[in-house]
Amino acid sequence: MASLGRREFMFLSAGALVAAGCDAGLMLGLSPGDSFDTVLDRLHDTDVEFGGGLSNHGPMGAEALVEMGLGERVVDWVNGYAEDLALRMAAAPLSEAERQRALGDFEKRAGWIAWYEAEASGVAPGALLARELPRLLPASLSLHGLLRTAHAYRSLSRQDTPSRRRELAHALGYWASRYDTLPGTPGKTPQSGLDVRAALAKVPLLPDGARIDEGLIKDRMTPLSSLAGFAEAIDAVDLEAVAVEDALTDLVTASVNLFVAGGCGDIVLLHGVTASSATRLLLPALDARGQRDALGYAYQAVAAAYAIRAGSPSDLEAPGAGAGGESEQSLLDAAARVSDVHSIKLVEATLREHRIAARPQLLVAARRWVDC
């Protein structure tokens, strides 16, 4: 009998569980001691989404654990996380003509990934991103594409391997297939000196009656297309008012203030924090103009989260003096034991940002989500 390949084994294992009357759970077959690259290889057999539109966070969570020095957790954590994932379908790389029509076509995701895999095998990661980010960054509604790309690029900065290049390809292919924009063009008609922090305070808030409180993030953003003044607030930001790195720090600070003000468990505001922080990881691949553009689209994403979730402009302000007292070590300890992928990713992002510029509310935000 011919030996089973990895994908066939995973598929048949899930089928056997169903036949036995059990819930199907995808088994990646990872063993203790498997390397991060082996983990990525197994995850690349899974689709970029599952469960009706939920993003596959497996590669991102694994990379965040490695970044925090918790690599020994990766295999067990991924084996558990993968139980809910779906196998991905293979496809031929998209042709140039097909790519012109396929931006934002999720049904073409396998073809996008295959094309990016071919590109990533022969183009240095930084050069590939320098070429592709200007096309993809305007898709500021496609937060998970940006997030997965940032994690992939950081893993390549530690070590450039074929597995990590394939992960970058999966991330970019996902981003391209889910390409979706928000109203406005960041900095199109800038008001001189209106930096991202000041510009956020001018973004109109969606009335309570128009808000969508359930479903995927992209669905909750739908009412922004008819929110008067939103596009104009995006156009008005001055992306040259503050240096890009400092402006991103301001944007992360505003995002975490919103998150803390929003109470426990707001997934939209959480992604405002992680996406604005992840943008910083992509800056080395961009020239000065590209970095300003990246800042602009990060601002647009945070502005959208603010518009649909904030209670008032005061939510952008730092929380009171009682919002301190959390330690970095306590959060690392939490990341070493939790299974929730958003807890892992938020802890990593807030710890990294706190080391760039200490802000106690960063640590408070992470603790709040972990304990929620």
Residue pLDDT, tens place only, 329-372: 999 999 999 999 999 999 999 999 999 999 999 999 999 999 98
On whether both 283 and 354 belong to a single domain, the answer is yes
Q: Quick check: is 185 in a domain?
A: no
On whether both 202 and 350 belong to a single domain, the answer is yes
What pLDDT sits at residue 321?
55
All residues at 6 or more sequence positions from 55 whose CB lies less than 8 Å from its CB, including other chains: 48, 49, 144, 148
- Considering all CA atoms of the chain, what is the largest pairwise distance in Å, rounded to the nearest integer? 72
Contact assessment for residue 150 and residue 278, using Cβ atoms and an 8 Å cutoff: yes
Residue in the block written with tokens 């109109």: 204
Please, what's the b/e burial string for 286-318 (b: 16 or more CB within 10 A of its CB; e: otherwise)? beeebbbbbbbbbbbbbbbbbbbbbeeeebbee
What pLDDT sits at residue 324?
62
- For the chain, how many structural domains are there in total? 3
Q: Quick check: is 187 in a domain?
A: no
On whether both 103 and 77 belong to a single domain, the answer is no
Residues, the chain: 372
On whether both 154 and 208 belong to a single domain, the answer is no
What pLDDT sits at residue 147?
99
On whether both 367 and 304 belong to a single domain, the answer is yes
On whether both 106 and 232 belong to a single domain, the answer is no
On whether both 299 and 217 belong to a single domain, the answer is yes
Distance from C-alpha of 134 to C-alpha of 122, rounded to nearest angstrom: 20
**Domain range for 148:** 96-177
Q: Quick check: is 256 in a domain?
A: yes
Distance from C-alpha of 291 to C-alpha of 247, rounded to nearest angstrom: 11
What pLDDT sits at residue 322?
55
What pLDDT sits at residue 133?
99
On whether both 219 and 296 belong to a single domain, the answer is yes
On whether both 74 and 204 belong to a single domain, the answer is no
What pLDDT sits at residue 323?
58
On whether both 340 and 261 belong to a single domain, the answer is yes
Q: Quick check: is 126 in a domain?
A: yes
Report which of 91, 98, 137 is spatially closest to residue 118, judged by C-alpha positions. 91
- Residues in the chain with pLDDT < 50? 1-23
On whether both 61 and 102 belong to a single domain, the answer is no
Q: Quick check: is 188 in a domain?
A: no
Last residue of a domain, one of 84, 110, 127: 84
